[in-house]
Amino acid sequence: MPESRVAVIEGDDASPEAVKPTVEMIDNMNLGIEWVYPPVGAQGEALHNSIFPEEARQLIDESDTTLFGAASGKSAFALVYLRWGKQTYANVRPTRFMPGCQSPLAQPEGVDFVIVRENLEDMYLMVEGAIESLAPADLVSPILQKKVAELGPGKYAVKVITEAGTERVARYAFELARRRKTGGRPGKVTVASKYNMLPQSDGLFRDVTARVAESYTDIDFEMMIVDNFAHYLVRSPQELDVVLLPNLYGDILSDAAAGLGGGLGLAPSGAYGDDYAYFEAVHGTAPDIVGRNIINPTATMLSATMMLDYLGFKEEAQRIEAAMAAVYREGRFLTPDQGGTARTTDFVKAVEGKL
C-alpha cells in the first residue's frame, strides 16, 4: 500500500519539462508516493466546452491530491474540475524572497507574504452576453442614468460574490495567519477589493471579511481599496503577511507579487478546499521556450513542497526548500531567467545533491 497517491497532470508546452524532473526527484526520496496520470481532454477547445474524460475524473477522485503543470489547451479542462469540481476555494500563492534570485526590488530582504485568492467566484463564472439581451431585465446604470441595453452593441460580464463563498475563504485566510504567527510572522490579514465603485459585490466581500475578522482578535486586520493595495504591494511588501483578495484581483496581483519576488519562474501555489487540494505553479506554459530544458522548475518544485506539506511530509518539504535556498545562495546552477546558464535538469540535480 502506498502512503499517498498523487495525480500528476504534466500540463502543456514547456510545463512537463518542469514537472517531470520534480516528480523524479521526489520519487527518489522513497516516501511511498504512488503517481497516477489522468488522461486529459482534447486540445484547443474552449474552457467551458470541456470534455473531461470520466477516467481522469476518477483518477483525481481516487488520489489524495493533484500536482498540476501549467495549462493552456488540453489541460485547462482539468483545471475546471480541480477548482469547481473539487471545490478548492482558497488559492494560496506565497511570495518569499530567496537570496540569490533576481528580484527587481532594491531591498527584497524580508519579503514573505501569502496571497489567498478566492478561487471559485467573482468574474470566473464565465457568465457573459450581449448587452441587448439585458433589455428584459431593465438594468439601469446609476452612473449613466440609463438602461445598459440602450448603449448599443456590446457585451457584459457578471461578477458574483456570495456570503458563503467569501466567509469560507476569509476563515481560511485568518487560520493561515494564525499558523504563520506561530512560526514568527506578525499575524496580519490585509483584505482588498474595489468597494468604492462596486459597493454591493465588493462591498459584500468587505463586510463579510470584516465580520470574520471580529472572531480573530489575535490577528491584525486591515482593509484597503484594491488600487491602493497595488501601490502598497510594490512599495512596502515587507509589511504584508496574509493578503485576501477576490478571484480576479487575486489572479492579477499574484502575478505582480511573483514579479516582485523574482519572477514567475519562482512562484508556487496550492488551492485548498475542505476535501481536496491541488498544487500548481502560478506561471503559464512558456511556449516560447518549449523543448529547450531551460524552464525554471522552482515554481513547480515549491508547489510540490506545499503538496508534501499537505500530505503530511512536513520535514521532507522543509528539506527540499532548504536545499533550493542553498542552490540559490550559491548561484552556480540557476536557470537563464535568474541570470544563470543552467538547464532545468541541472538545477534539479543541484537541489537533489543538497538533500
Residues 66-95 that bind ligand IPM (CB under 6 A): 71
From residue 257 to residue 296, the character string flagging contacts with ligand IPM as x (rule: CB under 6 A) and all else as - is -------------------------x--------------
> Which residue lies nearer to ligand IPM by CB, 71 or 323?
71
> Which residue lies nearer to ligand IPM by CB, 13 or 251?
251
> Which residue lies nearer to ligand IPM by CB, 56 or 71?
71
Q: Beta strand 242-245 with 155-157: parallel, antiparallel or unpaired? A: unpaired
Query: Smallest distance, Å, CB 251 to ligand IPM?
Result: 5
Distances (CA, A) of 44 to 67, 158, 281, 283, 348: 22, 25, 21, 19, 31
Residue ranges in contact with Mn ion by CB under 5 A:
251
Query: Smallest distance, Å, CB 257 to Mn ion?
Result: 11
* Residue choice 122, 251, 321, 337 for contact with ligand IPM (CB under 6 A): 251
DSSP state of 31: -
CA 52 to chain centre: 22
> Which residue lies nearer to ligand IPM by CB, 234 or 252?
252
Contact 103, 110 (CB under 8 A): no
Query: What are the cell numbers at 247?
Result: 478571484
Query: Smallest distance, Å, CB 283 to Mn ion?
Result: 9
Q: Which residues pair with 222 in a beta bridge?
A: 190
Query: What are the cell numbers at 237?
Result: 511588501
Query: Smallest distance, Å, CB 311 to ligand IPM?
Result: 21
Quick one: what does residue 82 bind among ligand IPM, Mn ion, none, with the CB cut-off 5 to 8 Å set by partner type? none
Query: How many angstroms separate the first and last alpha carbons of the chain?
Result: 26
> Which residue lies nearer to ligand IPM by CB, 71 or 189?
71
List, in order, residues 6 or more apart from 113 with CB less than 8 Å away: 94, 95, 96, 237, 240, 241, 242, 243, 257
- Residues contributing to the site for ligand IPM (CB under 6 A): 71, 251, 282
